[in-house]
Amino acid sequence: MSKLAKIIRMEFRLTVANRVFIVLTILGPFLIAAVTILPGLLSTSVAGMGAKATKIALLGADRRFVQEISPALLQSKIEVSAVQGSVESLDSQVKAGAYDGYLVMPPDFSEVTRLEYVSKNSADFRVMGVLQGVIGKAIVAQRLVKAGIAASQVASLTQLPGFEMRQLTQGGERKENSDFITILVTGLTLAMLLYMTVVLYGQVIGRSVLTEKTNKTVEIMLSSVRPMELLFGKILGKALASLLQYGIWVTVSAAVLKLIGPRIGISIGVGLSMSTLAYLVLFFILAFFLYCSLYAALGAASEDEQHLGQLAWPVIIFLVIPVVMITSIISTPRAPVIVALSLFPLTAPIVMFLRILVGAAEPWEILVSIGLIVATTAAVIWLSARIFRVGILMTGKRFKFLDVLRLVRYR
């Protein structure tokens, strides 16, 4: 036990004293805050971001109609003007930059079902959405007036009701729920934090084992300690260092977001409960031990860093899958595929945590997921120790991924 403690202490000191660790610890909270704040800034009004007004020409529109819709469009920094002429002349003006786009207005709104908007920017969905909402509502209002409904009643008749979404907790409490974008940003931030930390330290452990193997240092160490002790010492030492860094990131990021968020008028993140934070730490620890054990075994079987990268790609795929599917996980957390991924040990740490974040995970599913991860981690550590014991002393051979699995059979 004393030998294991010495290895843990040595790995912890080597990691914490590293310049990269110090730089990442300092910059990490600000990068996390930036990733969290920028989507919020992008979702705010264009006026608050200092952008220029978008100039739109309404071809064939009545000037009185343009005056009615202009105030609503100006709130979204869109200036409209009624113009006459041909489509070809407007095409030339848009190309020259006189207008950002134009909308072809029909002479009669009673039967129109589709309007044509022309712009140089094919991804100008914000402007398109605002025009569709404001002009569409104005056209419906004119139809109602033409049908004999008093103009004073049109506004109340065309007003869409607002919706409030509340989450029903396990205790029967109705809790106010955040919008999809807020949940998505929060889930993406926490998932990326978990993903980057596991990948970073997994590769550090793999390279550490590979360096000691190529320098023959490990042969001296194995003369006094067992392979299992050396493997556990490396993983536990890195785990303590990562938890220290993780704690600093979360604490400083929360302070920065709490200080900056209200000043820029953005509601950042979801109010995370203590139980949710506890699940975050739990799944981080489980994922850390699972993937770091795999990386240690691959480092022992690798010949150089390029070879380590080739062997590690199947492991990285299982970490990438939940990240690229994060929108689907949050929007359809009870889909059979998502439930299966939340129970599969290699994808469960991120997927199950996201399901817990949106309140879609049943208690039994959480327990089964944790149990499967723990059982898989124990099996991987046992297998990694066997691979570690044989592969660490074998040099001059470039193993393939299947060759690494065959090392388990050696005694």
Q: Tokens for 102?
A: 């134009």
pLDDT digits (tens, 9 = 90+) for 18-77: 887 888 788 877 776 666 666 555 555 444 445 578 889 888 888 888 888 888 888 888
Contact 300, 392 (CB under 8 A): yes
Residue-averaged pLDDT of the chain: 77
Q: Tokens for 182?
A: 């807020």
Q: Tokens for 50?
A: 């200092």
- CA–CA gap between residue 61 and residue 136 (Å, rounded): 14
| Burial zone of 330 (CB within 10 Å; 0-12 exposed, 13-18 middle, 19+ buried) | buried
Of 355, 348, 209, which is closest to residue 287 (Cα–Cα)?
348
- CA–CA gap between residue 301 and residue 216 (Å, rounded): 14
- Strands 54-59 and 166-168, sheet pairing: unpaired
Dihedral, CA atoms, 133, 136, 137, 139, nearest 10 degrees?
160
Task: Indicate the domain borders of the chain.
Answer: 2-42+175-409, 50-162
Of 169, 165, 179, 361, which is closest to residue 270 (Cα–Cα)?
179
**Quick one: pLDDT at residue 340?**
93
Residue 338: pLDDT band by 50, 70, 90 thresholds?
very high
Give the number of other Cβ atoms within 10 Å of residue 408's Cβ: 15
Q: Tokens for 134?
A: 């404001």
Of 363, 362, 361, 370, which is closest to residue 333 (Cα–Cα)?
361
Of 219, 207, 290, 236, which is closest to residue 10 (Cα–Cα)?
236
- CA–CA gap between residue 312 and residue 276 (Å, rounded): 31
- CA–CA gap between residue 352 and residue 250 (Å, rounded): 20
Amino acid at 300: A
Alpha helices in 17-111 (DSSP H): 19-43, 63-74, 87-96
SS3 state of residue 58: strand
Higher-confidence position of 177 and 328: 328
Q: Tokens 């490990």 — which residue?
A: 218
Q: Tokens 């909402």 — which residue?
A: 133
pLDDT digits (tens, 9 = 90+) for 61-114: 888 888 888 888 888 888 898 888 888 888 888 888 889 888 888 877 777 778
pLDDT digits (tens, 9 = 90+) for 245-299: 877 877 887 777 677 666 655 555 445 667 777 887 788 888 888 888 888 777 7
Does domain 50-162 fall under CATH 3.30.2350.10? My reply is no
Is the pLDDT at 410 greater than 60? The verdict is no
Dihedral, CA atoms, 362, 364, 368, 374, nearest 10 degrees?
90
- CA–CA gap between residue 357 and residue 280 (Å, rounded): 9
DSSP per position, 268-297 = -S----HHHHHHHHHHHHHHHHHHHHHHHH
At a CB cut-off of 8 Å and minimum separation 6, what does 23 contact? Answer: none
pLDDT digits (tens, 9 = 90+) for 339-370: 999 999 989 988 998 888 887 888 899 999 99
Contact 47, 73 (CB under 8 A): no
| Burial zone of 329 (CB within 10 Å; 0-12 exposed, 13-18 middle, 19+ buried) | buried
Of 164, 189, 163, which is closest to residue 357 (Cα–Cα)?
189
Provide φ and ψ at 160, rounded to 5°.
Answer: -80, 140
Contact 211, 265 (CB under 8 A): no
pLDDT digits (tens, 9 = 90+) for 123-178: 567 788 888 888 888 888 878 877 778 766 777 777 767 666 665 555 656 555 55
- CA–CA gap between residue 365 and residue 3 (Å, rounded): 39
Provide φ and ψ at 344, rounded to 5°.
Answer: -70, 120
Of 180, 199, 167, 239, which is closest to residue 322 (Cα–Cα)?
199
Contact 209, 300 (CB under 8 A): yes
Contact 296, 388 (CB under 8 A): yes
- CA–CA gap between residue 383 and residue 347 (Å, rounded): 19
Residues in the chain: 411
